Amino acid sequence: MSSVAIVTGASSGIGAATARRLAAEGFHVLAAARRTDRLAGLVKEIEAAGGTATAVACDVTSDESVAELAAAAQAAPGPITLLVNNAGGARGLDPVESGAIGDWQWMYDVNVLGTLRVTQALLPALEASGAGTIVIVSSTAGFTVYEGGGGYAAAKHAQTAIAGTLRLELCGRPVRVIEIDPGMVRTDEFGLVRFGGDADKAAATYAGVPEPLVAEDVADCIAWCATRPHHVNVDRLVVRPLAQAAQHKMHRVGQ
């Protein structure tokens, strides 16, 4: 009987890469996201590589949808031992004085309340396994602010608060809480979502940066943390590309 890992936001980017990697590590993966067509392709890819996975339609901003994810977990072919709260994203790069309330609302609902909903729904199963792990994929924006990033940083700071508080509250119970904080990661969709589909603006973020992180780098970190002996809790792992010394310090070739 395989242990089961649940990955939210699994239709692209870090979520899809994490689903592939965890399947390769021997987990049966419940790949959860809104775009079921992409999930179907991901499951086929995992199965072709010798792993096992199940696609589950899930919108983390919906209580009803998250309840359906929890029901799917109950029917999974093994104990639920790992939850990767990966669903999230950014919208806009406006200063606080002109930031769109709707963008801030969306970022809070997806990143913060999405993590809360899914964690609450799956925590009983994780604890019942006797060896549960919750991974929260936050960001370096969870501890460092920057101009134009107020809404995203606020949401990611809140995710960091969830991780730290949950770890205190679960002390003595068999569930680890791990926070992963990536810096610059180049994925197909993060920048496009942030800039409303503007491919030029999205590409400019990475201009001149030699080897930004890619989704597989973060998936590798998640898998490493999650597969340590269960008494080992990696509280927080910060990962950046070599070219990024800090949030405000980036080496760009030719600039």
In angstroms, rounded to a whole number, what is the distance separating the alpha carbons of residues 187 and 225?
Answer: 21
CA 120/CA 170 separation, integer angstroms: 12
Q: Hey, how many other C-beta atoms are within 10 angstroms of the C-beta on 183?
A: 21
Cα gap 219→82, rounded to integer Å: 14
186, 210 in Cβ contact below 8 A? no
- By CB neighbour count within 10 A (0-12 exposed, 13-18 middle, 19+ buried), where does 71 fall? exposed
- 206 among known catalytic residues: no
Catalytic residue among 108, 146, 152, 206: 152
Token couple for 119:
């964690």
d(CA 139, CA 148): 15
* CA atoms of 145 and 93, how far apart (whole Å): 12
Active site residues: 152
